């Protein structure tokens, strides 16, 4: 496993060591000790989540606030998604900036999204199974979100917005300026 830093402090692309052979492949998808060695971060995951979506489904941008803030390690088990992390940590030198990474079943990459970031993804394949680990339990009262098309953030989703399938809840999220503070 190798951790590749992104321009956003604490946010890493995780490149697995895939060992192929005539039967298929083997890879260690997560090792807490190795993760800490590669990133310098001590993270203990407590919850796994999985979703299945069709092409054009856009989920996000979501986060948890205060003591319920979550770090996530995300990956795609089947299909392809454009995965986006937005730094919403007040005082961060990259506050309001984002990183977008193509995560696919084929490239097996993962994205580590630290606490203090909003997260979302867009399914670009016909279907996708998305899996992620969280270092804190979900708390409904601590939900936060930012509109996917906020011009301040300026995410290029790489697909025409007329193709997006967005939940009613996500269509009414506030813009970046009016979003609930993460801390």
Catalytically annotated residues: 62, 132
Helix, strand and coil in the chain, % to nearest 5: 15, 40, 45
Distance separating alpha carbons of residues 149 and 61, to the nearest angstrom: 10
CA distance 86 to 63: 10
On whether the CB atoms of residues 69 and 139 are closer than 8 A, the answer is no
What whole-number distance in Å separates Cα of residue 9 and Cα of residue 21?
36
């Amino acid at each position: 496993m190798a951790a590749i830093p992104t321009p956003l402090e604490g946010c890493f692309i995780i490149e697995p060591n895939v060992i192929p052979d005539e039967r298929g492949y083997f890879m260690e998808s997560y090792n807490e000790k190795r993760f800490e060695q590669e990133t310098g971060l001590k993270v203990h995951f407590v919850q796994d989540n999985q979703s299945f979506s069709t092409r054009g489904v856009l989920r996000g941008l979501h986060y948890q606030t205060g003591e319920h803030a979550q770090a996530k390690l995300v990956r795609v088990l089947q299909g392809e998604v454009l995965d986006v992390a937005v730094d919403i940590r007040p005082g961060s030198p990259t506050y309001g900036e984002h990183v977008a990474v193509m995560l696919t079943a084929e490239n097996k990459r993962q994205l580590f999204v630290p606490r203090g970031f909003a997260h979302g993804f867009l399914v670009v394949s016909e279907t996708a199974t998305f899996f992620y680990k969280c270092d804190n339990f979900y708390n409904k009262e601590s939900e936060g979100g930012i509109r996917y098309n906020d011009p301040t953030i300026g995410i290029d989703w790489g697909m025409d917005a007329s193709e997006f399938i967005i939940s009613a809840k996500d269509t009414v999220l506030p813009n970046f300026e009016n979003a609930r503070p993460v801390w």
